[in-house]
Chains A and B, each alone.
Chain A
Amino acid sequence: MRPNAQRLSLLLAALLVLAACGGGGGTAGGTAQPAGPPQRGGELTVLESSSFAGGWPSGLDPATNTTGGANISQMSAIYGGLFLLTANDDGSDPRVVPNQAEGYELLDGGRTVKITLRDGIRFSDGTPFDAQAVVFNLQRALASPCSCKPTWPLADGGITAQDARTVVLTFTRPYAAVINSFPVANTNWIASPTALQKMGEEQFRINPVGAGPFTVVSNQLSSLLVLQRNPTYFKPDRPYLDKLTFQSIGGDQPAYQALLAGQAQAYEGLSTTPLLEQAQSSGRLTVTVQPPTSPYVIQLNTKTAPFDDKRAREAIYRATDFDSISKGLFRGLYPVSQSFTGPGGLFHEQAVPGYPTYDPEQAKQLVSRLGGLTVELGTLNGYVAQQVMTALQTQWQAAGITVTTKNYELSTLVQQFNSGQWQSMLQTAGAWDPASGVGVGFRFGSTSPFSGVADPQLDQLLDGAAATVDPAGRQQLYNEAGKYISDNAYAPFGLAFAAANIATPGVYGPGLTTKIPPIVVNAGVIWDEVWRVQQQ
């Protein structure tokens, strides 16, 4: 029996290796250059990871979708967006441009913003996309339970329709980041008020109606969303595709295989480094690594022990070696940042003067001066985050810190933050503009439920930066904020990570096969421009 068993296990090993090598050969992958002009028609199936973008359990109404920040792709395919984040094909010059909006004006030193809508847009149910509809939607969105609702310093009754095409927002203080905050927030997605009223909220979240490039054919929550071309879309000859399908799948490996097998044409958010390398070297898929905007950050809860003591926080800075983690776990693919945006983000600052860098000896001294240090480190459940957490645990323990680790589901993570009992959290999501979305205010502002810091001085710096219209002035204030965070050892930053998109040959589109800085985790794909080479 034993020789048989042995042979069989060898066979199994051989089969595994064989299967693994099958992907080899071909030329190196890279940014795909289309051979000709975009073509009309065709279908596209896009895979989304079930643990993030592939989960939409509460439906796709912008005001009730609690996971809107993860479902940016689905939402913008259905609703389009008032504004879009776009960039050159290589990711340079990222900028927010009007889409369903025609333009905007910052007035009153940034206290008022006037948004003009494009003329003649209609929702796919035929009703007009006017200022009334937008005001209705903005009010609903701001009352939403989604963490993707914007944190605007809005004045009382600050959303008004001036005329049929003009919406006016009024703030209590200057707010320069307002336009940049649109593409990250649910205020960007405008739903048809008439359809909502006719269907009722419960039906609308399943079969939403917007004015985006696609309309809903069928929607099976958190598993399959089938969309078709919106014939009344406001841009002529767009979208290119006839049909767009989003399908939820259980992780990077099955998604990678499904693309190779040809059952889907694109996958957003590949983050497993060995698979990324394999996809790049096999040459069978287009691999697009987005310009990283969001460095990993280890949030420390300064409101409670042990991190209410600056020495404990500094010990963590000194014990943390993200350079090694980047080299070992991520093959040196991602740069390490010392502040709150990555190279692809706005107001990026590679090095912060006086940043407490990795120094295990000093970490040990700090720990012994504290008489020992015991911490709990948590993160949102995920394969890559888990690996980084394990590496951090090892590094911290080498400095004499006792570390226990904990994996959270999104729901238990929120609970942990609400309880205020957490000590340190490894976070991976971030923002392109630090003043919007999961930006620096989200992680460091005193009023944010996800912040471990309550420091009026820092609040003042961040609010000031968000209010400053002049980019150079804003940069100056963010540099000061970055230094302030580092000087107070509030939270060490790490490698600036961005997930990659993979696509089969012949699929092209901005954000999918060209570079656009990620909005929260994935880049905002501009779906009406996505096209596919037609098989003859």
Chain B
Amino acid sequence: MTASVDAGRHRAGPAFLTSPGMRLVGKRLLLAVPIVLGVSILTFWVLNLIPGSAAQQLLGPEATPAQVRALELELGLDRPAVLRYLDWLGGAVTGDLGQSLVSRQPVTDLLGERLAVSGELVVLAFVISLGLAVPTALLAAHRPNRLFDRISMVVSITGLSVANYVLALLLVLVFAVQMAVLPAIGFVPLSQGLGENLRSMALPAAAIAFPLYCFYTRFLRGDLVDQLQGEDYVTTARAKGIGPWQVLVRHAFRNSAFGLITVVGLNLGSLIGGTVIVEQIFALPGIGQLMLQAINTRDFVVVQACVVVFAVVAVLANLLADLLYAVLDPRIRYGSR
């Protein structure tokens, strides 16, 4: 995750792209700047609305208002929000996200290791959910409204209507407590072996992946069915005598992939902060937990940094989706048909 953030900042696009692609990257990155700026301003404003200050937290309940004010002065919390924001921005542009108000650690240190945990969690969840959703949707769309389609629909809606913390606890009960095949809690870093690392991430990733899987399956299946029933190219292909599977996979799916990519791009960006519940249940040292704690201790420097990281990831994910879209442009694919 961190690598891609840096890549974004230095505006290095994938080298294989043609020059229109490069122009698109440039344009999108320019558009991303005001978005990230907007998010950081919005965060600053919202955080200012929350009552209580880190100074009060640090000094404890017996501090006199004068002591609190003195520490606020020292931490620079007394200055107008606009000035503080500009200060922060000045640091952020040079890669300095400041120092945690509560633990006095550099925010970049706090973020680094935790971002890796949450990032891996999200990426795994996407790999699992997409890897399963695509075949399921294809099978379901192959014969719409038949048994498999119906079953997959009920499964999907189950996934969308079960709270993910309930799902997480159930997964632990079944796979960790009853069957004892996977660990119930904890994170094993990659440095201790890929196998152990993946085992420790299996249940949390599954808890996040299942609702996503359900969502993608329904989305893709619906789109595929519409494509099969309506599009001219499908009719043409069928008239040429191409088999139903070929039509489904080579033609309809290629077209439906665009919508899917857009959804995934949107999800990927917003999910990175949404893992907090799963992190709590599985005792994972992720960024969601960090942010929740930081809000509770009024450590706004950390919150601000987390939010900006989320925003950058969200914007980059969307950008990636757009790029894939451009690479797979239908006019190129289907124009030469």
Contacts and interface: CB of A to CB of B under 8 A. Distances in A.
B170 A201 contact: no
Interface string A245-261: 00111110110011011
Interface in A271-301: none
A250 B59 CA distance: 27
Which of B105, B157, B177, B296 gathers most chain A CB within 10 Å?
A: B177
Nearest to A144: B60
Contacts of A15: 170, 174
Contact of A260 (B104, B150, B177, B283): B177
A22 interface: yes
B60 A4 contact: no
B103 interface: yes
B118 to A, nearest CB: 12
A411 B297 contact: yes
B177 A257 contact: yes
Contacts of B180: 261-262
Given A147-B61, A261-B184, A418-B61, A254 B281 contact: yes
A261 B61 contact: no
A260 B296 CA distance: 31
Contacts of B294: 57
Contacts of B281: 249-251, 254
A5 interface: yes
A25 B61 CA distance: 48
A225 to B, nearest CB: 11
A410 B52 CA distance: 11
Nearest to B185: A258
Nearest to A284: B177
A15 B185 CA distance: 21
A399 B44 CA distance: 46
Contacts, number: 146
Contacts of A12: 158, 162
A145 B56 CA distance: 9
A66 B61 CA distance: 10
Interface in B78-107: 102-105
Contacts of B103: 57-59, 205-206, 221
A19 B178 contact: yes
Contacts of B174: 15, 19
A451 to B, nearest CB: 11
A220 interface: yes
Interface string A45-75: 0010010000101110000001000000000
Given A15-B170, A55-B293, A202-B105, A223 B285 contact: yes
A476 B53 CA distance: 44
B63 interface: yes
Contacts of A248: 283
B159 to A, nearest CB: 11
Interface residues of A, number: 55
B113 interface: yes
B310 interface: no
B261 interface: no
A312 B255 CA distance: 72
A536 B279 CA distance: 34
Chain B residues touching A, majority SS: helix
B129 interface: no
B173 A257 contact: yes
Contact of B186 (A16, A247, A411): A247
Contact of B184 (A20, A258, A409): A258
A412 B186 contact: no
A420 interface: no
A20 B103 CA distance: 40
Interface in B295-320: 296-299
Contacts of B134: none
Nearest to A202: B104
Contacts of B102: 57-58, 66
Given A221-B103, A449-B62, A247 B185 contact: yes
A322 interface: no
Contact of A8 (B61, B158, B177, B280): B158
Contacts of B158: 8, 12
A22 B177 contact: yes
Contacts of A22: 173, 177-178
A249 B186 CA distance: 9
A409 to B, nearest CB: 6
B183 interface: yes
Contacts of B283: 47, 223, 247-250, 254, 258
Interface string B133-156: 000000000000000001101110
Interface of B: 51-52, 56-63, 102-105, 110, 113, 150-151, 153-155, 157-158, 162, 169-170, 172-174, 176-178, 180, 183-186, 280-283, 285, 289, 293-294, 296-299
Interface of A: 1, 4-5, 8, 12, 15-16, 19-20, 22-23, 47, 50, 55, 57-59, 66, 144-147, 201-202, 205-206, 220-224, 247-251, 253-254, 257-258, 260-264, 409-412, 414-415, 417-418, 449-450
Given A8-B158, A222-B289, A257-B173, 7 more contacts: A57-B297, A202-B104, A220-B285, A247-B283, A250-B283, A258-B185, A263-B176
16 contacts: A19-B170, A57-B294, A57-B297, A146-B60, A202-B104, A222-B293, A223-B283, A223-B289, A250-B283, A251-B280, A254-B280, A257-B177, A410-B296, A411-B57, A418-B61, A449-B61
Query: Which 9 residue pairs spanning A and B have beta carbons closest together?
Result: A250-B280, A145-B60, A261-B184, A261-B176, A19-B173, A223-B285, A202-B104, A258-B185, A258-B184
